[in-house]
Amino acid sequence: MSGVPVHLRAPRRPGLVRALEAVAVLGAVLVLVGAPVWWLVHSAARGWTDARVVAATVAEDARCTTGPPPGSPRTCAATWTPAGGDRESVEGTVSERYGGDLPAAGGTVEARVVADGDDPMALTGFQPVLLRWALAAPYLTAAGVLLLVLAVAGLVRTDPRWASPRTDLPRPGA
């Protein structure tokens, strides 16, 4: 069997190789499903679960914008007093980016603070499915990376197509 090129050699355990390839695909899918949501939504979801409820007041002359996706959410400049009332009012933005009530100029909307610091933000709602997905995203990503690493390690050990480089090809210019 040594005369057969590397890419045509049969694996030593074909059933195991098929299973490991399926595990590698599953790992890649978990990474693709988890990583972007972890990167973009996880911090807002964590802030939402902290349940720091405030009444955000949007001024009559407040600047409101539409966007960014998902959907066409409305985001307005607003002020609110943190829970406990021991600090002065905070100026930030309130948005219905992930669901909830629409903030409008001259109105007050119930929201939860999801970000403090230089750019405080409050959200008026969160879709339950997206919230669970965003909270699980780090675990999905870690499980996907682990499955991918283990599957590739198994494939390198059991399948000659993964174990060695294609040394049977002629060198360029030869």
**Cα-based torsion angle of the residue sequence 124, 126, 127, 129 in order, rounded to the nearest 10 degrees:** -170
And the tokens for 100?
A: 């909830």
- Nearest Cα neighbor of 155 from 51, 42, 6, 22 is 22
Is-contact 42 137, C-beta < 8 A? yes
- Nearest Cα neighbor of 134 from 22, 13, 56, 40 is 40
Is residue 59 pLDDT above 60, yes or no?
Answer: yes
Per-residue model confidence (pLDDT) at position 169: 61
pTM above 0.75, yes or no: no
Query: Mind listing the pLDDT tens digit for each residue in 107-164?
Result: 999 998 888 878 888 888 888 888 899 999 999 999 999 999 999 999 888 877 777 6
And the tokens for 134?
A: 């965003």
DSSP state of 12: S
